[in-house]
């Protein structure tokens, strides 16, 4: 791991996104809460928080961090894309005050939320996929602010 002991503790915020592509019927079942495994988005939200907290256990060179906030939100889009799928966009926002950033925690949170949606819905839609996992923004630390340009 990189030695961060000489870095100043600052507020650090990272926001990551992921998109789950699924059939319209699957989105409808999620919205109606009729998926057999339960409330998909509630479980995916908890899973994302847990993923953020477990990041240093999963990514070998990540520092263990005291996270001060993890927020997972979902934007459902019933509009079909060119392949006939609709989507759920996951936004993971992670905060801390520390000597290193929380980009990996935000990316892990978004990814674990997407994996959870897949796991809970695979019995009705094996063709789901997730894509567009990326860091939207980060702030704090010596390198300052980063904003993704689309």
The average pLDDT across 86-109 equals 96
Is pLDDT at 3 greater than 90 in this prediction?
Answer: no
Q: Look at 2-6, 66-70, 116-120 and tell me which has the smallest mean pLDDT.
A: 2-6
35's CB contacts (< 8 A; 6+ apart) are 29, 120, 121, 124
State residue 77's pLDDT score. Answer: 95
Q: Which helix or strand (DSSP H or E) is residue 22 part of?
A: strand 10-22
Q: Are 58 and 108 in contact (CB under 8 A)?
A: yes
Percent of the chain exceeding pLDDT 90 equals: 83
The residues carrying an active-site annotation are: 119
Token pair for 114: 């997407």
The average pLDDT across 108-114 equals 98
Is pLDDT at 11 greater than 90 in this prediction?
Answer: yes
The average pLDDT across 65-83 equals 94
The average pLDDT across 18-39 equals 97
The average pLDDT across 73-100 equals 94
Sheet containing 10-22: give its strands across.
Answer: 67-77, 86-98, 10-22, 129-139, 146-147
Fold of 10-140: Alpha-Beta Plaits (3.30.70)
Q: Look at 19-28, 66-75, 139-148 and tell me which has the smallest mean pLDDT.
A: 139-148
């Amino acid at each position: 791991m990189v030695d961060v002991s000489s870095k100043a503790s600052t507020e650090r915020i990272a926001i990551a996104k992921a998109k789950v592509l699924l059939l319209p019927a699957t989105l409808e079942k999620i919205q109606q809460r009729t998926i057999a495994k339960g409330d998909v988005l509630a479980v995916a939200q908890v899973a994302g928080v847990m993923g953020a907290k477990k990041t240093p256990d999963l990514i070998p060179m990540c520092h263990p961090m005291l996270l001060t906030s993890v927020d997972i939100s979902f934007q459902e889009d019933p509009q079909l894309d060119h392949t006939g799928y609709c989507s759920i966009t996951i936004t993971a926002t992670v905060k801390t005050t520390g000597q290193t950033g929380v980009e990996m925690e935000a990316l892990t949170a978004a990814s674990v939320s997407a994996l959870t949606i897949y796991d809970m819905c695979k019995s009705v839609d094996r063709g789901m996929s997730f894509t567009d996992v990326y860091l939207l923004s980060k702030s704090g630390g010596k390198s300052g602010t980063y904003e993704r340009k689309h």
